[in-house]
Amino acid sequence: MDNSHADYKEGRAISTRAKDILLAPLRLALSPTLLRTYLRTFLILLTSTTLFAIAIVAYTSFYVAYIPVQGISVPVYLHFDTSTPAHGNDGAAGRRFPYGVADVKGLVARQKYDVGVEIELPRSDRNLAAGNWMVGVEVRGPGSTVGEEVRKGLLEWEGEEDFSRGKQRARMPVPGVGRPAVLARSRRPALLTYRSWVTEHAYRTLRLPLYVLGWGQESETLSVLLLESVEFERGWRSIPTSLRLEVRSATPLEIYRVKVLFVARLEGLRWVMYTHRLASFVVFTSLFWGVEMGVVLLTWGYFTLLFGAGRANEEEAASREKSFIKSEPDMMGATTPKTEPSSAPSTPRSDTSRTFPTLSNQQSLHYSSGEAGKIKREQDREEKLSLEDVPLRTEAEADDEDDD
């Protein structure tokens, strides 16, 4: 029976030890210190991820606002004078040159632009015989007030109409609004590419299948640069909102289509951000994110030190109050140390002597209080006194008694 009980206890001890060994990593992982570490790590990861997303959005917004549109294409629909020239003359007398007006959107201030025009026209005999002809453009700002002086450009103003959006009714003049101010203007010559008779016929012969199948046209596209590095000042009155294009030639030209191009000439940081987009994204996003994380960590450290120091001071003061012995003066002026009362409940004690039961082979156990023990010791001492302890009379004392 005793052996089975001992084996049971031994097996239970082994299972308890094995259970403690297996649960030791889990208990360590779920300790309060590591739980606080997990919480701090999660908060740091969440904050860093949020700030990184904010950095991406901030750089993207800055890129869109700071980098202008690289190329703005504005189609221009030319208006031709359909009136018959006087006396059958095909010249410029009594005839208006083709012109077109278009709106311009997307230009920014303090940015250099190259303004050019692309004209697609057929290589007809009439266009080839026209020789050199002129292309002029005016970049205009918003409408000006009547009191301002409006300069009349080299191009004509009279009779301007815009049918690019369909036939429109005549508008009454708006009080207080005059013609738009001219911000920039330029006129440049243009000429179709010259080819000799042999070269022209050989070129057309080689491209004849494309012309027959409709995959090509006997046309040529001319690119004319009108304005170089033109820059507009700040202010809404200095930002272009429209343009006017005019084509002047000795004989009327046959034109397919025309468009004006505004190409931004990027410099400095804008050039770096536009040319090296990926590298700029990585560098500036990381820089912005690093600044955000630095501010967050500094703020966290400051508040940690602030509240941590205050909590440490409170704990130290509490420990001092617990271990501090108060000294209070009594009626006579003396100081009597006074300790804080203990929170543990006091156990009542009795001075009565007791004898506790023990086993038969052990000595009996007796208890006696301090006063009882003291009285018992005095009684034992009196019982041990004998006649030997009584002092004997000396011879001098005996002589004195005889004399008496």
DSSP string computed for 211-269: HHHTS--SEEEEEEEEEEEEE--SSGGGS--EEEEEEE-SSPPP-SEEEEEEEE---TH
pLDDT band at residue 178 using 50, 70 and 90 as cut-offs: low
CA dist 186 and 184 (Å) reads 7
Given 2.60.120, 2.120.10, 3.40.1130, 2.40.50, which CATH number is that of 71-155+178-265?
Answer: 2.60.120
Using the 8-state DSSP alphabet, how is residue 143 labeled?
Answer: E
Tokens representing 197 are: 């008779």
Q: What is the pLDDT of residue 372?
A: 53
296 or 170: which leads in pLDDT: 296
* 3-class secondary-structure state, position 173: coil
DSSP string across 373-396 = HHHHHHHHHHHT--GGGSPPPPHH
Every domain of the chain and the residues it spans: 1-30, 38-66+267-303, 71-155+178-265
241 near 141, Cβ under 8 Å? yes
Q: What is the pLDDT of residue 368?
A: 64
247 near 255, Cβ under 8 Å? yes
Q: Percent of the chain, pLDDT > 70?
A: 61
Using the 8-state DSSP alphabet, how is residue 154 labeled?
Answer: S
Mean pLDDT of 146-171: 39
* 3-class secondary-structure state, position 140: strand
Mean pLDDT of 199-207: 89
Tokens representing 156 are: 């004509």
pLDDT band at residue 39 using 50, 70 and 90 as cut-offs: confident
Please state the pTM of the whole predicted model.
0.57
CA dist 106 and 121 (Å) reads 28
139 near 104, Cβ under 8 Å? yes
Whether 247 shows a pLDDT value over 90: the answer reads yes
What's the residue count for the chain?
A: 404
116 near 72, Cβ under 8 Å? no
Q: What is the pLDDT of residue 151?
A: 40
Q: Which residues pair with 262 in a beta bridge?
A: 72, 115
Q: Which is nearest to 265 in space by CA: 67, 64, 61, 65?
A: 67
Mean pLDDT of 283-311: 85
Q: What is the pLDDT of residue 54?
A: 94
Residues 6 or more apart in contact with residue 349 via CB below 8 angstroms:
none
Q: Percent of the chain, pLDDT > 90?
A: 29
Mean pLDDT of 60-66: 91
137 near 260, Cβ under 8 Å? yes
Give the chain's radius of gyration (CA, Å). Answer: 56
Which among 205-219, 254-268, 349-363 has the top mean pLDDT?
A: 254-268
